[in-house]
Structures are given as C-alpha cells and as structure tokens.
Amino acid sequence: MHLTTDQGIPLSHTDDSLRPGPRGPTLLEDFHFREKLTRFDHERIPERVVHARGSGAHGYFQVYEPLTRYTKAKFLQDPSIKTPVFVRFSTVAGSRGSADTVRDVRGFAVKFYTQEGNFDLVGNNMPVFFIQDGIKFPDVVHAVKPEPHHEMPQAASAHDSFWDFVSLVPETAHMVMWVMSDRALPRSYRMMEGFGVHTFRFINAEGKSRFVKFHWKPLLGVHSLVWDEAQKLAGKDPDFHRRDLWEAIEMGDPPEYELGVQIIEEEQADTLGFDLFDATKLVPEEVVPVKRVGKLVLHRNPTNFFAETEQVAFCVQNVVPGIDFTNDPLMQARLFSYLDTQLTRLGGPNFAEIPINRPLAPVHNHQQDGFHRHTIDAGRANYHPQAIPA
C-alpha cells in the first residue's frame, strides 16, 4: 500500500518539502506539503462542554419477550432480533485530558440502530439530576467547571463556585448526596448502573400511554473504588476505566447489562406523593419494581477513537414510534440543547451522515445541501407535495 494525497494521487516521498535546490525555500506549488500541513492545522474539533472524556464500544441489544402490551417500538418486540448499538461512557465535569477515576457523575449513553431509525437513550449512572428546570443547566455546569479566573480545579467539584451554587439551590441536595456517595467512584464501566433519569412514555399500538423509567443493570453487579484508590489511580493510570473496558472486550469478556423498566400507569402517577416529572426525584423500586426486559452486550471495540467515540452524536430527541416524551422541563430543555450543540461541534446539520451516527434504517426526506453533505440525491423533486416523479 502506498501513500496518496486526499485526491488519491500517489506519493513517492513525504519527508521533505519541494525546494529549488538543496537550500532553497519551500515552494508554494508543493501541493502535498500544503495539504498535509493544512489538514494537521484543522484536526481538532470542539470538545463537548460536558461529557468531554469518553470511552465507547459496539454491541447489540435483545429483548427477552415482546413488550406489545406497553409499546409498539419494533426493537422491543422480537427476541430473535439483535439490535446493533453503540455505547459511550463518560465523566461529566472534566476535559478530554482529565482522569477517569475522579469523583463525578458518569454518562451512560446508548444509540440503538433500530429498524425504525435511531433511538438514543442518553443517561447517567445516577437516577436523578441537580436541577428541575433546564434553564438552570448553564448555571450548574458553569459552577462545577474549573473556575474562570485560573481554570482550576480540573474534573473535581470540591471548589468554591460549585458549593456556592448548591448551597443556594436546595433542589440540588438529592443529587449532591449521590455525588458524595460511592456511586461517583465506579470500579469499572462494566460494574456501573445506568438510568434514563427522566420519565418517558411507552405507547402501544392501541394508543394507550404509560409512563416509563429506564434502568441499566450490570450483570457483574455494582462495585466502587474507595477514595484513596481513586486518587492513586488518577495519578498512576488516568485511563483506568478506558483501559478496563477496552481490555475486557479484547479478551473476550464482553460487558453485559440488563435493560429494566419501571412502568407507571397514568392514573398511578398522581398517587406517588411527588412530581413524576421532576428530575431531582426517583421512583423507589419497592414502590414500582424494575422489570428486566432485555440484555445489552458490548463485544467490539471501536476501530478509530475519533471517528466513532468522539464523533458520535447523541440527541435526546431521537426516539422511535412507541417511545415518547413528557412535560419534564429538564427533558424539554435537553430536546433543544443536544441538537443545538451538535450543529456547532460537528460542523452543521449533516452530522447524522457521519458513519457512526448514520441510521441503518432507510432515510427518505427532502433535506439537502449544507456543510459535510454526503448523500447524493437523485431526481428533480426536493419538496412535498410533488407530482413530478422523484
């Protein structure tokens, strides 16, 4: 295999720029030199504001038995079908270069490539969140991030601005208890629960709606580090969780989780004694048991970190028929914010055409043009309704 330019032109040499004589200046006509440097200068894209440090894996999901009574979502009907998934685990507060084992919330985001399009279940390893209304989201993130005057501390919440914020916002108390618990120091991504946090809806073929809370239960159980271990590992192996996930899959020991659901009838919601659409609250499992309905298996590592783990774009708005939203004000803010973020981070509205984000289901619409367009549309009709043949 030989080197080529981005245009496929063969290269015989890539170690020296083109010069007129042994000590002459580099010539601007050296298109390979200019292309190579230009591409290098533009290699970086904006990192995520939160969840910047992540680790991902491919796998599949299988439902145990049809959930026809609750939802018409096709990927939850046939136990023989393996729905491909990509999962990204992450820390929240730190930058891409921070350590894995810091005290922090962990992201647990799953992209299901279903027959009906992509379903993104974008959650955390804790069942609640700091705030009730998404309008406060910029404030809580600003408060927990490194302080603006000196950009410290990195990937840690034990600093003045965070404690100033939570002391003035009482609704954060529940989540702070979780963050100060062992759940903020997971032993491994393979030993960590996941939660959808919000209350979603299941809708069946008859149009019957029920509320649902999503859970991920690791088959290895839930295990944590102690604080001294976490601090030492952050210094000795900042990639501890990333390495643990990668090596387990490479050794043929795939992480496995069960998908659990708490089903709440609409008339039952008013009897719980709290607002079901408040993301600072959880539904106790002794009140509404978690029914385990399927298994998630992660059996393949990414081929390229940037192309897959860094470019994957999860959007809360990505739901399939049979799964819907509620009027949770934090969820409603996320429905706007995730798409808005990807437009900037990935360079425009065509980020869904990046291979890791592309649905396996056929895509038919009249979206067109813009930066990074990959689809070559055929036909004259790019509007609806239409009489001209497509």
**Counting Cβ atoms within 10 Å, is residue 87 exposed (0-12), middle (13-18) or buried (19+)?**
buried
Rounded CA-CA distance 172/280 in Å is: 7
Torsion, Cα 264 266 198 176, to 10 degrees, reads -80
Question: Token pair 């408040």 is at which residue?
Answer: 278
Catalytic member of 2, 32, 42, 51: 51
Instruction: Return phi, psi of residue 330, to 5°.
Output: -70, -40
Reported as type and span, the H/E element at residue 138 is: helix 137-144
Q: Which residues contact 332 (CB under 8 A, 6 or more apart)?
A: 134, 325
Between helix 160-168 and helix 137-144 the angle, nearest 10°, is 150
Strand partners, 152: 147
51 is known as an active-site residue: yes
Note whether 190 and 220 are within 8 A (CB).
Answer: yes
Instruction: Return phi, psi of residue 88, to 5°.
Output: -125, 120
DSSP string covering 261-299: EEEE-HHHHTTSSS-TT-TT----TTTSPPEEEEEEEEE
Instruction: Return phi, psi of residue 141, to 5°.
Output: -70, -45
Catalytic member of 118, 124, 125, 301: 124
Q: Give pairs for 174-181: CB < 8 Å, separation 24+.
A: 174/128, 174/280, 174/281, 175/126, 175/128, 175/129, 175/130, 175/280, 176/130, 178/105, 178/126, 178/127, 178/128, 179/103, 179/104, 179/105, 179/126, 180/103
Which residues are annotated as catalytic? 51, 124
